[in-house]
Amino acid sequence: MKKQLFSMAVVAATLCACGSSTPQLGKNSIDEVIGAMTLEEKAHLVVGTGMKGFSGDSAVIGTTKTLVPGAAGTTYPIERLGIPAVVLADGPAGLRIDPIREGDSATYYCTHFPIGTLLASTWNQELVEQVGQAIGNEVLEYGADVLLAPALNIHRNPLCGRNFEYYSEDPVVAGKIAAAYVRGVQSNGVGTSIKHYAANNQETNRTGNDARVSPRALREIYLKGFEIAVKESSPWTVMSSYNYLNGTYTSENPELQTTLLRDEWGFKGMVMTDWFGGKDAIAQMKAGNDMLQPGTDKQYEAIIEGVNNGKLDMAVLDRNVKRILEMIVQTPRFKGYNYSNKPDLKAHAAVTRQSATEGMVLLKNDKETLPLTSTVKNVALFGCTSYDFIAGGTGSGNVNRAYTVSLLDGLKNAGYTVDENLKNTYEQYVAAENKRLQEAKREWFMPLSRPTEMKLDASEVSQLAAKADVALVTIGRTSGEFLDRQRADFNLNKEEMDLLKSVCNAFHAAGKKVVVVLNIGGVIETASWKSLPDAILCAWQAGQEGGNSVADVLSGKASPSGRLTMTFPVKFEDAASSANFPIDLKANIDITNKEQQKGNVKNVDYTNYEEGIYVGYRYFDSFNKEVSYPFGYGLSYTSFSYSNPAVKSDNGVYTVTVDVQNTGKTAGKEVVQLYVAAPDAAKCNKPEKELKAFAKTAELKPNEKATVTLKVNAADLAWFNEASSSWVVDAGTYNFLIGASSRDIKATLQAEVAASSQKVNDILKPQEAIQELKR
Ligand code: BGC
């Protein structure tokens, strides 16, 4: 209601002013409006309104009540010029606003959709676009204007605390999935903010860390996804990141925010900082970081002073103001949209339930353990997480949802019965553990640790094995903003191993099967224990319908068709970036403790990206490292054959086609991955292979066949030559590899590629050369 009044107020203000000489946004040109703005008004507009909305207050600025409680920020309203405040709200897994408002009996819950990593694991751009449509509808109907998502930083290391929000270790996957998400959200007439631009790959000291990265690694890996998303989906805004990049804050770097983003890639929208990001408001303005969020009085004063003392050119301020106004005029709030505060949460619950099943990755399925046969009725449900299912990660990527379906409830909803005694024991134990952990929590921002697994004695487990038809064991991990995961979080702990062994021993002795469900937001160690259970389903963190989605997959109602968008290494140390990642810096250093951080300059003050371009499978496959599960991997309940592979070249476009046939007994979808291997890759210090395109088939019935078409432009085959600052395509015979994972190549085709090169800006150089890994 408040919001409707506001919209009417804007319209009224606009109407009243028509006859007057004060220019009005929407009636007059943006340049005329800027011409009428005072310096103070301009400074306000580029700075935002502070943290009032964040804390849930209904902030009053001027005479306008604008905020959606719990939204992360707003722009500054200037009523005399018809400029409304517009609302910016998180985040990647759904809109994050306060669900309850003071003095209001209505609720404002949003749908918690699957985390970014799960969405990417669908490899289904159409599906991600549909999820984006549903998320964007909640943005629109709850009165927000710009969603602070998607987040597409590269999974440089398995232990980055925010990997769950991000998509992949591969920039093509990250860029294409982000573009699909943006198209979906923006189809509602609301905006997005692709974030965090750029090289924000660790949480430790995230506002002080200098990411030291070579131009080649930046161009080929860390910036590529942003480039794809900008070019393929035109996001309304970009959010700069917290970190320094090669010695300069990203938000203060004109090379990043202007030369590359706008001049080279053609971005036409607006750039905002991450919340309180960067230090020097003048430098940010000059760099082309148009808006500072959430905005502080200090920044406002610095801008006024800067213009007055000549350090900030008014023309630069006007340029930034213009970009903000161009964004504002597109918003539903400016257009006076009469939002309902009643999005169709039921319909969106169905969207999240179904989309989540497509991103779950079946890692192991011996002797067709899954789907559970119709004779399986009684389930022995182990693991604390089964009863306390994790919908997503913590921090700004969290969503205030009305409920989370646990695996227990999902199984019950699907008609299974669980052992009630075991259930009661677990529920009591989990409640007590959570209470203990809540009390022990050191910092408000830290994710709540997971309960330590309960000790069960062998005879108890044997009795359960005699009664139940199957055992399910859930392993859970959570993580979030501000904090990277630790090595201990990567490995299973003793209690988890004991549980797994004891359940496997007892159930196998009774001739029954064991299924492990991974309710995780990032990669964990699997190599040491994966031989124990009969099946492993990586369910990720699947949003609020998680338990139902998992039950749909276990029961066979849905066939899992997710594929890993990152490698599962054998050991944490195997990832090339692990040598330069803030983990176990000194024995048992507490990375939340500033005092203890001192002296741990490496990877805290700065991080050298010494692995260069060899991130994820580019490293494992080029250096022949054993992995636990490769990039692109995932099983299905059915099987597929590949035939008639062909490649055609036409005017610099390579078109690869292949027939995929369902050769199994159930319907399913296949992900077809196209890797390209350059000639003399090792000699030329290029990765063994690189993903260049991918597609997912429609659901194929048994025997059904589909032709999959994948396109690659010759320019996409370029590597970045730092010496000449150009994208270079070397001439030669390239292998086009059609694969079901980076290590399961179904067909190899060859094509001749002509030489070409394109010179680009010689920018973003490290202050000192980085000793990079080479082949
Ligand atoms: C996060 C952003 C988020 C912002 C607003 C920051 O802490 O890094 O991703 O959009 O807060 O909540």
User: Tell me, what's the pLDDT at 443?
Assistant: 73
Question: By three-state DSSP, how is residue 628 classified?
Answer: strand
pTM: 0.95
User: Tell me, what's the pLDDT at 14?
Assistant: 44
Render pLDDT for 125-149 as a digit per residue (tens, 0 to 9): 999 999 999 999 999 999 999 999 9
- How far apart are alpha carbons 433 and 440 in whole angstroms? 10
**Mean per-residue pLDDT for 417-422?**
95
**Mean per-residue pLDDT for 693-698?**
98
Q: Determine which of 47-51, 129-133, 273-277, 651-655 has the lowest per-residue pLDDT on average.
A: 47-51
* DSSP character at residue 274: S
161-198 b/e (C-beta count within 10 Å ≥ 16 → b)? bbbbbbbbbbbbbbbbbbbbbbbbbbebebbbbbbbbb
Render pLDDT for 724-769 as a digit per residue (tens, 0 to 9): 999 999 999 999 999 999 999 999 999 999 999 999 999 999 999 9
Render pLDDT for 447-463 as a digit per residue (tens, 0 to 9): 788 899 999 999 999 99
Instruction: Choose, from 90, 98, 170, 274, the residue flagged as catalytic.
Output: 274
Ligand 1 mutation pick, 49, 54, 90, max ligand atoms within 8 A of CB: 90
User: Tell me, what's the pLDDT at 444?
Assistant: 72
Render pLDDT for 206-234 as a digit per residue (tens, 0 to 9): 999 999 999 999 999 999 999 999 999 99
Residue 442: band (very low, low, confident or very high) from pLDDT cuts 50, 70, 90 = confident
Which residues make Cβ contacts (< 8 Å) with residue 666, sequence separation at least 6? 556, 559, 637, 638, 702
pLDDT cut 70: percent of the chain above it: 93
Which residue's CA lies nearest to atom 8 of ligand 1? 274
* Nearest alpha carbon to residue 612 among 173, 222, 241: 222
Residue 59: band (very low, low, confident or very high) from pLDDT cuts 50, 70, 90 = very low
Residue 4 pLDDT exceeds 60: no
Residue 354 pLDDT exceeds 80: yes
Residue 594: band (very low, low, confident or very high) from pLDDT cuts 50, 70, 90 = low
Residue 51: band (very low, low, confident or very high) from pLDDT cuts 50, 70, 90 = low
Is residue 274 part of the annotated active site? The answer reads yes
Separation in Å, CA 298 to CA 2, 270, 308: 30, 22, 15
Residue 15 pLDDT exceeds 60: no
Which residue's CA lies nearest to atom 6 of ligand 1? 275
Residue 8: band (very low, low, confident or very high) from pLDDT cuts 50, 70, 90 = very low
User: Tell me, what's the pLDDT at 17?
Assistant: 44
User: Tell me, what's the pLDDT at 410?
Assistant: 98
Residue 20 pLDDT exceeds 90: no
Ligand 1 geometric centre to CA of 54 (Å): 11
Residue 58: band (very low, low, confident or very high) from pLDDT cuts 50, 70, 90 = very low
Residue 52 pLDDT exceeds 70: no
Alpha helix ranges (H) inside 451-610: 458-467, 487-490, 494-509, 546-555, 594-597
Residue 583: band (very low, low, confident or very high) from pLDDT cuts 50, 70, 90 = confident
Separation in Å, CA 44 to CA 81, 301, 324: 13, 9, 12
Residue 63 pLDDT exceeds 60: no
* DSSP character at residue 458: H
* Nearest alpha carbon to residue 542 among 90, 96, 109, 117: 117
* DSSP character at residue 475: E
- How far apart are alpha carbons 635 and 365 in whole angstroms? 8
Ligand 1 geometric centre to CA of 239 (Å): 9
Render pLDDT for 642-655 as a digit per residue (tens, 0 to 9): 999 999 999 999 99
Render pLDDT for 628-638 as a digit per residue (tens, 0 to 9): 999 999 999 99
Residue 601: band (very low, low, confident or very high) from pLDDT cuts 50, 70, 90 = confident
Of ligand 1's atoms, which has the minimum distance to the CA of residue 196?
9
Of ligand 1's atoms, which has the minimum distance to the CA of residue 149?
10
Ligand 1 geometric centre to CA of 689 (Å): 34
User: Tell me, what's the pLDDT at 724?
Assistant: 98
Report the mean per-residue pLDDT for the chain: 93
* Ligand 1 interacting residues, C-beta cut-off 6 A: 72, 90-91, 148, 195, 274-275, 396, 481
Residue 334 pLDDT exceeds 80: yes
Residue 584 pLDDT exceeds 90: no
Ligand 1 mutation pick, 166, 481, 484, max ligand atoms within 8 A of CB: 481
Render pLDDT for 366-376 as a digit per residue (tens, 0 to 9): 999 999 999 99
